[in-house]
A = this chain, B = another copy of it.
């Protein structure tokens, strides 16, 4: 069914193939994640999403590993199974060790806990934190 069938390279339009080719070039791998093969049902969405991911996740002030760990932190907070699996794998490929993963999970868990304590206790923002 179109909602989540996966579009393989050989079945893709020229526009979709162009994006797949760029993903392979940038990621330096032959494999295309299912995520992209699903978005391919909407070529404009596929292109816009890929262009944004490429621009956002590349090297900048933050190194790629930190960006992948931030991606995992958000995906875990949102309980997105697909993204947790794919970005944890990407973070490991980028150099995340077991020890780093353990600390990442500890921070994510703690933040999710204290976010609720702050809300539940209806804590006012400290004057010096007001912007």
Interface residues of A (CB under 8 A from B): 1-6, 31, 33-35, 38-39, 41-42, 44-45, 48-49, 52-53, 55-57, 60-62, 66-67, 69-89, 92, 97-126, 128-131
**How many identical subunits does the complex contain?**
6
Closest to A53 in B: B110
Contact B117 A49 (CB under 8 A): yes
Q: Are the C-beta atoms of A56 and B106 separated by less than 8 Å?
A: yes
Most chain B CB inside 10 Å of its own CB: which residue of A76, A101, A112: A112
Given contacts A4-B131, A86-B125, whether A78 and B77 have CB atoms under 8 Å apart is: yes
A124 touches B52 (CB 8 A): no
Q: Which of B3, B41, B74, B104 contacts A108 (CB 8 A)?
A: B74
With a cutoff of 8 Å between Cβ atoms, the chain B residues found around residue A130 in the complex are: 85
Contact B110 A117 (CB under 8 A): no
Most chain B beta carbons < 10 A, residue from A88, A109, A121:
A121
CA distance A95 to B94 in the complex (A): 23
